[in-house]
Chains A and B, each alone.
Chain A
Amino acid sequence: MDRPIRVLVSKPGLDGHDRGAKVIARALRDAGMEVIYTGLRQTPEQITNAAIQEDVDCVAVSILSGAHGTLIPKIAELLRKEGADDVLLVAGGVIPQEDIPFLKEHGVAEVFTPGTPTDVTIQFIRNNIKR
């Protein structure tokens, strides 16, 4: 593919931990992707609207606040409502293993917890974007 993959990297909810999101943003950029970084404290509505205007292939959210159980399904639902369900949704951050099956049932394609090498994420995005 000769076009860069576009990824929205965002931090939903009241969560000030932005190191992981920045690490991921840089890693994706270094892998040749165009990363649109939205910054902290985004609502699911803001994230969805940004994803649509930016026509991204992937929405990547970083959550360390513990609120993943409500925020991620909400983002997935809004994307679906907007007809943007061809957008790949991935998440990362401090998310307990036992919560991951629930999140996957609710629209997230994969969850990357601390310690995951960034290459794994990069490969996952490359292999799973839907267009």
Chain B
Amino acid sequence: MSQEQGFFQSLSRSIAQYQDEMVASIVETGIMLGASLIAALLVGLPMGTWMYLSRKNGPSPSGGIYAVLNAYVNIVRSVPFLLFVVALIPFTRWLVGTSFGTAAASVPLAFVAVALYARWVEQTLLDVPRRVVDLAHVLGASTFGMVTRFLYPEARSGLVLSLTTVTISLISYSTIMGVVGGGGVGDFAMRYGYQTYETEIMYTAIVIMVVAVMLIQATGTFISRRLDKRIR
């Protein structure tokens, strides 16, 4: 029996053995990502938009507002994530009633998602030509109208691409969620691969994550291209 055959046999045996746990871990990752992405859209998008509007030379400058939002984004992104998760435990416990499990793990991840996406949104809106803001004024749009009818439509492919990037970063962040019992594919790989030396299972989990990232990126790029009418 060749070495290769032996590897595949033991791989399929391990997969069969751990199939249920693997599926469960994928679902856990899905929940954590889903919750954080909803937060990114509901909070990060308006927050980034507000940063764009309030920054110096923005459409409605306000140094105070910008300073506060900018501080949030910078602080959340600069504290090492593991430390951030631990530091947030009291808040998490207050919010979801426990500091352990998938729901609790989603809380710090959501904070990061909001900060990452807010920064991306701000930068993406800065790429919209200034004349679009002029046009919104000329046509008598309110600030809300300017954002929803002028800026978002013109920036939409960039907004999709940056959400894609945020999603992919979150997959990476989510792998350490084992520390608060969040589970997920990353935790699964650590438990079986690192702690019980089932190397095949660890590599399987890694392959799953790589494939997931590739699929997410391909989907994001595809949607963003479809939305972009600036190029023929």
Q: Do A and B actually bind?
A: no
Which residues of B are at the interface with A, using a C-beta cutoff of 8 A? none
